[in-house]
Amino acid sequence: MLRVTEKGLRMYRSTTQRGLLIVLLILLASPILLADEAALTVRVVIDYSDGVQKHFTAIPWREGMTVRDALLAAQEHRRGVKFQERGSGATAFLTQLDDLKNEGSGRNWIYRVNGQIADRSFAVYRLEAGDTVLWKFEKSR
């Protein structure tokens, strides 16, 4: 015959409540953990201005990462992007993405970070976690 004491019943309820509390905390923390993980990436979007875009949605971010570094990471993806540049550091200039070369007085590759046109070389523009870089083949304004 099984004998249940009041003390045993209290211990059982206490253990069950603690277990439920732990499960509840894990479930509540899951979106925060996923959000933190997403925040530790950057996105790169290549817009060819002909209805085609490439999206690299989860490039791992690191402290000091530049737009150029993000492009290099996108290049390493198995469906990556190829690019050519001229110069280095503050004078680095993107001249071609995949098979589209800058046209000079026509359309050129212009980049934005979080919707804002960049004001410096892509090799020195530092990114923050969660940033989105858009490269678009378009006429200068």
Task: Domain 40-139: state its class.
Answer: mainly beta
Contacts of 136 (CB under 8 A, 6+ apart): 47, 49, 109, 110, 111, 112
CB-based burial, 29-55: b 16+ in 10 Å, e otherwise: eeeeeeeeeeeebbbbbbbbeeeeebe
CA 101 to chain centre: 26
Q: Where are the alpha helices (DSSP H) in 40-137?
A: 67-76
Looking at residue 23, what is its pLDDT? Answer: 53
User: Domain segments of the chain: what residues?
Assistant: 1-39, 40-139
Which H or E run contains 101? strand 100-101
Evaluate if residue 17 carries a pLDDT over 50: yes
> Of 4-13, 25-34, 44-53, 62-71, where does mean pLDDT reach its minimum?
25-34
Using alpha carbons, select from 95, 106, 101, 111 the residue that is nearest to residue 47. 111
**Residue 67 near residue 118 (C-beta atoms within 8 A):** yes
Looking at residue 12, what is its pLDDT? Answer: 63
Angle at 78 between CA 101 and CA 47, to 5 degrees: 40
Tens digit of each residue's pLDDT (9 = 90 or more) over 72-115: 999 999 999 999 999 999 999 999 999 999 999 999 999 999 99
The answer to pTM > 0.85 is no
Looking at residue 140, what is its pLDDT? Answer: 82
